[in-house]
Chain A
Amino acid sequence: MGLDVSMAVCYALPVLVSLLVVRFAYVKYCSGHPHLKLPASAAGMRCLIVLGSGGHTAEMVNVVSTLQKDRYTPRYYVAALTDNMSLQKARVYELSLVQREVDKEKAIENAQFVQIYRSREVGQSYFTSIATTLLATLHTMWIIIRIRPQVILCNGPGTCIPLCVSSFVLKVLGLGWSSIFYIESIARVKKLSLSGLMLYKLRIADQFFVQWPQLQKKYPRACYAGRLM
């Protein structure tokens, strides 16, 4: 009996692994191309917008204010739990889109605000970081599964890495599909940020933008399309 089970595992495991590898290759191949051709009257795509302190949010609000709101809706804004300012700024922006007081309820349906655990706070001990990183990763996975974003927009705060990696894992597992757009922060002139470098090297982002031409020369797969600020 025990032998049968181990035999079954021996046969099933390679099959499963090769299926995953094939799927992984397929997802990689599809990155950089839209997954589905959109019908002309698409109802709107669920958008995950990652915010962060230190100028990240201001840049992101500039992008969102230029987006066609009917195409990119509903919008889920994500920021770290300790970052009170960013979501507040996004909320102010979303409310500014609504002219009449009676429409405010509806506006909040189109825009939601999500807080996320940080894997590590500045100055946190190495040992407790392991537990908090695990917690943060599970929490991010849950958020991605719950929202199932079709579009992810981010520009560099550390919180975007677990979000992007989780959504990539879900793509490989066939549980959802999101196109990731990464715009490196304007503060990065000569070198990519750690988040940017990871997404660039792992080729997880479908489109990768930088805001300085000299940075594009250094990272040829990146795209330079002007400054956001």
Chain B
Amino acid sequence: MGDGERRMVFVTVGTTCFDALAKAVDSELVNEALLQKGYTHLLIQMGRGTYVPSKVTGNSTLQVDYFTFSPSIADYIREASLVISHAGSGSIFETLRLSKPLIVVVNEDLMDNHQSELAEELAERKHLFCAHPQTLQKTIEAMDLTALQPYVPGDAKPVVTLINKFFGFPVD
């Protein structure tokens, strides 16, 4: 790892309001953990959240920046060395498709928290790491990126074949 290399951590909350995550990544302990792992930049997409992280610039420390929304999150994911995301399936599969290491942070304040199901299942299959806002620092410290398994994207063909069979269309 050269001195001048930029290793960016991209944090995304999607269209939601997830202040607990913005606060967690903005904390000194998490910043320290990210620096220890060799990351140089932290970029936070804060959505509709009200918590405003503090911007930090300077060479000796982790550089922090933020914005609210962007029409194309994919560009930031592509640029990132690590993605920390809310548990929405959109951001999860977008990150996995771009083969970026991913930590999913589950929002415990959501009423119907079915979203954690997906993150936990994919974590069990070693496609990503799953954390809660208060365990994020530990997850970053303990994570071993080499343990992650690449995700093979799904395929709609079997479902469509069954629909075609239902109508008696010839299977091609």
A interacts with B: yes
Which residue numbers of A lie inside 8 Å of B, CB to CB?
34, 37-38, 45, 54-55, 58, 62-63, 65-68, 71, 151, 179, 181, 183, 185-191, 193, 206-207, 209, 211-212, 223, 225-229
Size range of the interface on B?
20 to 34
Residue of A65, A183, A187 with highest tally of chain B CB at under 10 A? A187
B163 within 8 A of A: yes
CB distance from B132 to the nearest CB of A (A): 18
**Distance of A37 Cα from B157 Cα, bound (Å):** 23
Main secondary structure on chain A at its contact with chain B?
A: loop
Main secondary structure on chain B at its contact with chain A?
A: helix
Interface residues of B in 75-104 (CB under 8 A from A): 88-90, 93
Knowing A187-B118, A189-B117, A211-B154, the reply to whether A34 touches B167 (Cβ < 8 A) is yes
Contact with B156, one of A71, A212, A228 (Cβ below 8 angstroms): A228
Interface residues of B in 114-172 (CB under 8 A from A): 114-115, 117-118, 120-121, 153-164, 166-169, 172
Question: Which residues of B lie under 8 Å from residue A68 when comparing CB positions?
Answer: 164, 169, 172
Question: Which residues of A lie under 8 Å from residue B153 when comparing CB positions?
Answer: 227, 229
**Distance of A39 Cα from B148 Cα, bound (Å):** 50
Knowing A54-B90, A212-B121, the reply to whether A228 touches B154 (Cβ < 8 A) is yes
**Distance of A37 Cα from B167 Cα, bound (Å):** 7
Nearest residue (CB) in A for B162 is A225
CB distance from B56 to the nearest CB of A (A): 33
CB distance from A108 to the nearest CB of B (A): 23
Knowing A68-B169, A189-B117, the reply to whether A207 touches B90 (Cβ < 8 A) is no
Question: Which residues of A lie under 8 Å from residue B93 when comparing CB positions?
Answer: 55, 58, 229
Question: Which residues of A lie under 8 Å from residue B159 when comparing CB positions?
Answer: 63, 66, 183, 209, 225-226, 228
Contact A188 B160 (CB under 8 A): no
Question: Which residues of A lie under 8 Å from residue B89 when comparing CB positions?
Answer: 54-55, 58, 185-187, 229
